[in-house]
A and B are shown apart, each in its own frame.
Chain A
Amino acid sequence: MIHVEDKKFVVPGEILAEDDYYPGRGTFKEGDMICSSLMGLVSLRNNKISVIPLKSKYIPKKGDVVIGEIEDIRFSMWGVNINSPYSGILPASEVFGREKKELSRVFKIGDVLFLRVVDVDEVKKVKLGLKGRGMGKFKNGILVDITPTKVPRLIGKKGSMINMIKDKTRCKIVVGQNGLVWVKGDVDMEQITKNVINLIEAEAHTSGLTNRIRDKLFLLIDGELPKDREESHESKFGENNSKNHLNNDPDFDNSFEANEEELEKPKLENFKGIF
């Protein structure tokens, strides 16, 4: 028996369902009842109930890509702030291999890096690495901070949202799973992008967001809505767009697809165009 609907707002302790259902993330089992352990929105997948928190801190997971800031230089490693309760370390060997060099000549305190989480051990010591495409230090640009649970929404289905913003603003955008977003482009476009990202964060739970953001972008940049508006509202918009640009940044698209499912239930009408 189920007591809640999909996307309903719940508070900790609220009974979500009894029997027949499986407890997912953000829930716990009390006897036969599944209760919420967080404040957030219910997510129903088949028979699995989970709760997506409204706000969260980033919990490091092996294989994630994150944006971090150097905050400490030690004897053979850098201390990295990854916007999480657990701070990360970047061992010197990741950068130099076996050579020995002065650490502060490569990365200084305050530098912002794009990193991969290599390993998280049982005491949550987060080991970071720079191996992979596009990893390394950022130059210029701005940082935008959003709550990590909204990252999948910012990416969109198969990158539909993020690619749309990239196309329209001509900014380079890099999204870390820890909720930090790096944007580089024209100064005005950077600010527009930042505002749009903040808007997505605030309205992540609402439906039809991609189209609204698209209209907003057109209004902000061109000052008017596109003439082919009717056509663009066709449901396959997301798919078309993402296919063309899917290969731009394999780093993000691949890694985020898995997470995407957690937040956004695939809308049935989106597949009509294909079948």
Chain B
Amino acid sequence: MNIIPEITRQSITNLINNNERADGRAVDEYRDIVIETNLVSKAEGSARVKLGNTQIIVGAKPQIGEPFPDTPNVGVLMTNSEMLPIADPKFEPGPPSESSVELARVVDRCVRESEMVDLEKLCIEEGKKVWMIFIDLHIIDYDGNLFDAAMFAVMAALMNTKLPIAEYKNDEIIIDEDATMDLPLKDKATMSTFVKIGDKMILDPSLDEESILDARLSIGITESGNICAMQKGGDGPLSKEDILSAVKTTYSKKDELLKYLK
């Protein structure tokens, strides 16, 4: 846990009670968002997202493998996150921390449950070979709200992922590296994270705001407006009104966010 000076906690809380924030944003305003795609030449799809000073690089890497026996005709999706020590003094090298696992799972849930990737089209030969998509999140600068930034980056990377055409003939895989197809996507999704400080819900928390949160709520929403993922964090409770207002804001922010993903 981050120790934050008592007077900083007080000043942030006071500002928020007046519907103001330390960086001058409105309570439901995102920081500047910058998306850059296809910057890793060795990955089939990649993106770098900056959300204020938070920075994440995502790579999507397809590989051919065997499907799980209970789902022989669908591809496999795997998400992993790496919180690099350069991103924050509190990130340590070594096995993934709790928050790193949480981030990967929340993003994975949002991608999976929105059913944005048409997994059946990733099947090459039923029961034998399918595409497995590995999504790797690399946090390179941490200034709060990794969830939204990560979801953005994953979305941008998947939209730019090119799969080589693979064929299955006589127990052999033939890959045509020159002919590629876009990763079959059916939908898009974004995520909005709120923190509760005092009795206000604030969108896109900065690092300081995240360190003094009572409760946190991340909501994933698809382009068509379905809620596909939710994650609650923090020790404090959330009231029904808090959640409903957060969902409402998520819904109204969706189109603004999707504009960045064109």
Interface residues of A (CB under 8 A from B): 69, 71, 81, 108-112, 138-143, 182, 187, 190-191, 194
Contacts and interface: CB of A to CB of B under 8 A. Distances in A.
Interface stretch (B11-19, B147-155, B178-186): B11-19
B211 to A, nearest CB: 11
B12 to A, nearest CB: 9
Contacts of A141: 7, 11
B11 A69 contact: no
B252 interface: no
A193 to B, nearest CB: 12
Contacts of A187: 14-15, 18
B3 A142 contact: no
Contacts of B3: 69, 71, 81, 109-110
Contacts of B8: 142-143
5 nearest A-B residue pairs (beta carbon)? A110-B6, A142-B11, A112-B5, A69-B5, A71-B3
| Chain B contact patch, size range | 10 to 19
A67 to B, nearest CB: 9
A27 B6 CA distance: 40
Contacts of B18: 187
Contacts of A71: 3
Contacts of A143: 5, 7-8
A140 B7 contact: yes
24 contacts: A69-B3, A71-B3, A108-B6, A110-B3, A110-B9, A111-B5, A139-B7, A140-B7, A140-B10, A140-B11, A141-B7, A142-B7, A142-B8, A142-B22, A143-B5, A143-B7, A143-B8, A182-B7, A187-B15, A187-B18, A190-B11, A191-B20, A191-B22, A194-B22
A165 to B, nearest CB: 18
A52 B39 CA distance: 35
B173 interface: no
A15 to B, nearest CB: 30
Interface in B16-37: 18, 20, 22, 24
B22 to A, nearest CB: 8
A182 B18 CA distance: 21
A180 to B, nearest CB: 9
Contacts of B22: 142, 191, 194
A110 B15 contact: no
B15 A138 contact: no
A212 to B, nearest CB: 21
Contacts of B5: 69, 110-112, 143
B20 to A, nearest CB: 8
Contacts of A112: 5-7
Contacts of A140: 7, 10-11
Contacts of A194: 22
A144 to B, nearest CB: 10
Given A69-B5, A110-B3, A191 B10 contact: no
Contacts of B11: 140-142, 190
A194 B24 CA distance: 11
Nearest to B10: A140
Nearest to B9: A110
A194 B208 CA distance: 15
A187 B5 CA distance: 18
B4 interface: yes
Contact of B24 (A81, A111, A138, A191): A191
B179 to A, nearest CB: 46
A123 B67 CA distance: 58
A111 B15 contact: no
Q: Which of A108, A110, A190 counts the most B-chain CB atoms under 10 A from its CB?
A: A110
Given A110-B6, A143-B8, 11 more contacts: A81-B3, A110-B3, A110-B5, A112-B6, A141-B7, A141-B11, A142-B7, A143-B7, A190-B11, A191-B24, A194-B22
A110 B24 contact: no
Q: Which of A139, A141, A142, A190 counts the most B-chain CB atoms under 10 A from its CB?
A: A142
A270 to B, nearest CB: 35
B13 to A, nearest CB: 11
Contacts of A139: 7
A143 B10 CA distance: 11
A226 B10 CA distance: 35
A111 B6 contact: yes
Interface string B139-158: 00000000000000000000
A110 B18 CA distance: 24
A241 to B, nearest CB: 28
B134 to A, nearest CB: 36
B4 A110 contact: yes
Nearest to B24: A191
B175 to A, nearest CB: 45
A140 B10 CA distance: 7
